[in-house]
Structure 1
C-alpha cells in the first residue's frame, strides 16, 4: 500500500511538471498553428522555414491565458493518473498472485531472463495496463477536450463533474470511450516491441561478464522504449484526434479536422496527407511546403 501511495504521489508530481508539454503537443496534434513560421537553420546549417517550437508556443498561451493557462485540463488528468496507478497496481498484483498459484501447482517456473519469462511478465503488464487504460479513458477524453477548447475559446468543459455530465448528455456512455481502440492498440504494441527488443539486446548484445551490466540493461530498456514509442506514435495521434472529433468544439470540426466515422478513416486521412507524425516533435518543426493552416487560411511557401 505504501508503494502504491508513493507511486501516486510521484506520478502526480510528474504529471504537473509535464502538463504544459502535453498541452502544447495536443494543440499541435489537432493542427492549431496560431503563429507564423520563422526562418531558422536545420542541423546542417541551411536556412529553412520553421514552425514555432515549444517555448514560442508556450509564450503565446501565456500571453492569452496567463501562466495558469498552461495547466488547462490538469484536474481530469490527475484523476486519470491516480485511478490508473491504483487499478494497474491492483490488477498486476492479482496477475502475479495467479502466476504464483499456477507455478506451485505445476512445479514449473520459467527461468528469469528467458524468453518465456519475458513473455509471461509482459502479458501480466499488458493486462494491467489495458485495464488501467480502459478505466481512465473517460478522464483522458475530458482532458483532451479541456485543452482543445483553447482554439475556439469555448467553456463547454469547465470541470471534471460538469464535463462528465456534458459528455453523457451529448454522446451517451460511448462518448467516454471514443479513441479507446487505437490507444489500446498503441499501448499493447509499444509494450511488446519494447520488451522483446530489450530481451534481444540483453541476450545477444550484452555480455554478462561486462562491468555495470545492470546499468547497461536498464539503459537498453529505456532506448527500446523510446524506439517503440516512436513506432506506435500514430496510434496516439489518431486516438487523441478521435477523442475530440465532432464533439462540438472548434478544434474537432472543419477546417481543423474532418469528421471521421471511425478511427480507421482518421488514420487513412492522416496517412494520405503525410501527417502521421504531427506533434511528435516540438523542436525543429520544419514547415511543409504548400501547407494550409486552419487558423488563418494562409498558404506558406
Structure 2
C-alpha cells in the first residue's frame, strides 16, 4: 500500500509540473500555430524561418488566460494518472500472486528457471496486459483532457468541468465517444513496449560485455535509451489517437474548416501520409507533418 501511495503521489506531482508543456504539445499536435515564424539561424549558421518554441507558446496562452490557464485539463488528467497507476499495479499484483502459487506447484516443487529471453517475453506480456487495462479504464479521462485543451483554439467552454464533460460526451456521442482514438493509442503502447524491451534485451545480451563493471552501469541506462527510441517510432500512433479524440466533437479545433473530418483512425493515418507526400507542393507545414516525416525517415532507413 505504501509503494502504491508513493507512486500515486510522485505521478501526480510530475503531472502537475508537466501540465503546461503537455497543454502546449497538444495544441501543437492539432496544428494550432498562433504565432508567426521568426528569422533565426540553424546549426550551420544559415538564416531560416523558425516557429516559436514551447515556452513562447506557453507565454501566449498565459497572456490570454493567465498563468492559471496553463493548467487547463489538469483535473481529468490527474484522475487518469491516479486511476491508471492503481489499475496497473493491481494487474501486476495479480500476476505476482499467481506466480507464488505456481512456484509451489504439486508437492511444493519449484519449476525450472526459464531462459532470459523467455523471461523477457513473460514480463513484457504481463506489462502489456497491465498497461492495456490501465489505458482502457482511463481513456475517457484522456479524451476529456484533450478536448478541454483544444477548446482554447475556438475559445469555447463546452468541456469545462469533469462532470459536465462526461454528460456532454454521453449525450452527444454515447458510450463510444469516451473511447475515441483508443485503438491507435493501444497499438502505440503495445508496439512501443515490445520494441523497448526487445531492443534492451538485444543490447544487454549482445552489445554490452557483462564482464566489465562499467558495462553493468550502462545496462541500467539501456532501457531508457531504447524506450526513447521506441517512443519516437510509435509517435504517429499517439498523434493519430489525439487527433481522433477531438475529431468532430463540436470544437473549432476538431471540425472544418480548421480540421478535416476523419471517418476512422485509418483514414486519419492515410491523410497524414498524403500530407507528407504532398509536402513539396504545400506552402505550409504543420507540426504533425514534421513528426510524421521523421517517423517515415527512421522506418525506411
The answer to whether the superposition gives a TM-score over 0.5 is yes
Secondary structure, aligned partner of 2:48: strand
1:30–1:256 CA contact under 8 A, matched in 2? no
CA distance in 2, matches of 1:110, 1:186: 31
Q: Cα deviation per residue 1:2-58 (whole Å; 9 max; x = unaligned)?
A: 000000000000001111111101001101101111111112221111111111111
Question: Stretches of 4+ moved more than 6 A in 1?
Answer: none
TM-score by length of 2: 0.89
Aligned residues: 281
Deviation at 1:95, TM superposition (A): 1.7
**1:244 aligns to what?**
246
**1:60 aligns to what?**
60
Matched, 1:169 2:171: yes
Q: Cα deviation per residue 1:49-72 (whole Å; 9 max; x = unaligned)?
A: 111111111111111011111110
Paired residues for 1:1-301 under 5 Å: 1-105=1-105, 107-111=110-114, 114-274=116-276, 290-291=283-284
Gaps of 5+ in 1: 276-287, 294-301
Deviation at 1:292, TM superposition (A): 6.8
Q: Cα distance 1:75–1:105, how it changes in 2: closer, same or farther (>3 A)?
A: same
Deviation at 1:111, TM superposition (A): 4.2
Q: Cα deviation per residue 1:179-233 (whole Å; 9 max; x = unaligned)?
A: 0000000000000000000000000111111114443112111100000000000
**1:283 aligns to what?**
none
Gaps of 5+ in 2: 287-301
CA distance in 1, matches of 2:112, 2:240: 40
Higher helix share: 2
TM-score by length of 1: 0.89
Which structure carries more relative contact order (alpha carbon 8 Å, separation 6+)? 1
Q: Cα distance 1:122–1:46, how it changes in 2: closer, same or farther (>3 A)?
A: same
RMSD over aligned Cα atoms: 1.8
CA distance in 2, matches of 1:109, 1:169: 55
Secondary structure, aligned partner of 2:213: coil
Deviation at 1:100, TM superposition (A): 3.6
Secondary structure, aligned partner of 1:156: coil
CA distance in 2, matches of 1:19, 1:244: 18
